[in-house]
Chain A
Amino acid sequence: MRCFFARRAISRAEDRGTKLPQWVERHAGRCGSCGDYARFTASLKERLAGERPAVLDAVPEFPLNEAAWAAAGDRGAQERVPRRRFVLRPLPAAAGALVVLAAGLALLLVALREPAPSAQDRTAALAALKSFTAVPDRIPGVVTEAEFSLEKERRILEKELSSAVEYLQARLNIKIERREPRGKST
């Protein structure tokens, strides 16, 4: 089990380019197979990189089909031309123009169907306007009405209060004098 973790740690250190943890170093020093794995892993990059040129030299020589790239480039260029002219294709362009024309005509017809205002309509409209302008004349009346209502409320309250005072005077045998507001005393 310890060997399993030690080898994983050796691989991790190799992948991250870091030093081996101390416990792994100690273990690799004692355990022959883990020591072998540590040395093998440490030397692998150098060994494989060293053999790489020979591996590549052993690959059979074969030409690259550069003509196919040229053809692909030409075909690509040819394909791009129609894409640029896509908007100018006659059928979609004609269809688009027809749609715009139909929409314009429909709008025009709707606008033409609306009848012109008659003399009666004009009179009604003027009357409505006058009713708006007449509103300020009624405002003083509305204010007076509101003031009257408040005055009435004040009188009721005053009456109830004087009645309560009379009751208290009779019950407690005292005299309560009415004091006028400061502004009024002068």
Chain B
Amino acid sequence: MADQGPNAEKTDDELAREARAGSRRSFEELARRYKRRLFVYLRPRVGSDEDAEDLVQETFLKLYRNIGSYDPEFRFSTWLYTSAGRLAIDAYRKGAASKDKLAGESAAELPDPAADRDRDPRLSGLWAAARGLGGDRFRVLWLRYGEDLTIDEIAAVLGRTKLAVRILLHRARTSLMSIAGPSPARTIAPAKAADARGARSG
């Protein structure tokens, strides 16, 4: 679906405020923007694409019903991911996602990073490796680098302390480097590469 209409240029928070005021079109635009992102976030928690799609649908339905309780002081994405996480836990408790399905979070069943590269040259397999780290570590990486949330916001989404989030991020980065290897020189920005060279010579 391509970006169309006047809503396409609005920010998420503007759309969320309009949706709160009763605009269904604004909510549809928000859902359109976030459905894939939410799918990526939820997919490692369930066994199949279909289960992930169901959870995405359920999350938007819940959000639409409760849009009146959205507090515009907070980012829409924080509210969305918090609700999605709770629904995923509920689904697990209800047995919608069996233990066998949740085993899908293990690295063995996830796509090979090399296969990712074959599918799309833009991919180096880093996100595939991140998915292989398991639930919490992948989620924290996605929220930090995929959604650009702050440590405070991630703590609110995951229901953890800021310190716990920082530790989780540190462990996720360390594990990711051990799987994916140190960053290739070509991906480092010139300024950062110069910094790194400076650090080595110093």
Chain B positions 158 through 172: 1 when the CB is less than 8 Å from some CB of chain A, otherwise 0: 000000001001100
Q: How far is the CA of A39 from the CA of B187 in the complex (A)?
A: 10
State which residues 122-178 of B face A: CB under 8 Å: 122-124, 126-127, 130, 141, 145-146, 148, 151, 166, 169-170, 173-174, 176-177
Chain B residues engaging chain A, CB cutoff 8 angstroms:
24, 27-28, 31-32, 35-37, 39-40, 49, 53, 56-57, 60-61, 64-65, 119-120, 122-124, 126-127, 130, 141, 145-146, 148, 151, 166, 169-170, 173-174, 176-177, 182-183, 187-189, 192, 195-196, 199-202
Inter-chain CB contacts under 8 Å: number: 132
- 4 further contact pairs, Cβ within 8 A, besides A12-B166, A59-B36, A69-B27: A36-B182, A53-B122, A59-B40, A72-B65
Given the complex, which residues of A lie within 8 Å of B60, measured CB to CB? 64, 69
**With A15-B151, A37-B174, A59-B36 in contact, do A48 and B61 touch (Cβ < 8 Å)?**
no
Is the CB of A76 closer than 8 A to any CB of chain B?
yes
Q: What is the distance, in angstroms, from A68's C-beta to the closest C-beta of chain B?
A: 5
- Residue interface mask A67-79, B partner, CB < 8 A = 1: 0111011001000
Contact indicator A51/B126 (Cβ below 8 Å): yes
CB distance from A11 to the nearest CB of B (A): 4
Chain B residues near A25 (CB-CB < 8 A)? 199, 202
Residue ID in chain B nearest A11 by CB atoms: B170
Q: How far is the CB of B19 from chain A (nearest CB, A)?
A: 11
Q: A68-B61, A69-B27, A72-B65 are in contact. Are A15 and B169 (CB under 8 A)?
A: yes
- Known contacts A44-B145, A55-B123; is-contact A39 B64 (Cβ 8 Å): no
Among B28, B49, B119, B196, point to the contact of A42 (Cβ < 8 A).
B196
Task: Say how far B193's CB is from chain A's closest CB, in angstroms.
Answer: 8
Contact with B along A3-42 (1 / 0, CB 8 A): 0000110011011000010000110110000011111111
Q: Size of chain A's interface in residues, with CB distance under 8 A? A: 47
- Closest-by-CB residue of B relative to A30 is B200
A76 to B31 Cα, complex, angstroms: 20
Q: In the bound complex, do residue B123 and residue A28 qualify as a contact, i.e. CB atoms below 8 Å apart?
A: no
Q: Which residue of B lies closest to A43 (CB)?
A: B183
**What 10 pairs between A and B have smallest CB-CB spacing?**
A54-B122, A48-B145, A36-B182, A43-B183, A11-B170, A59-B36, A69-B64, A56-B36, A54-B120, A40-B177
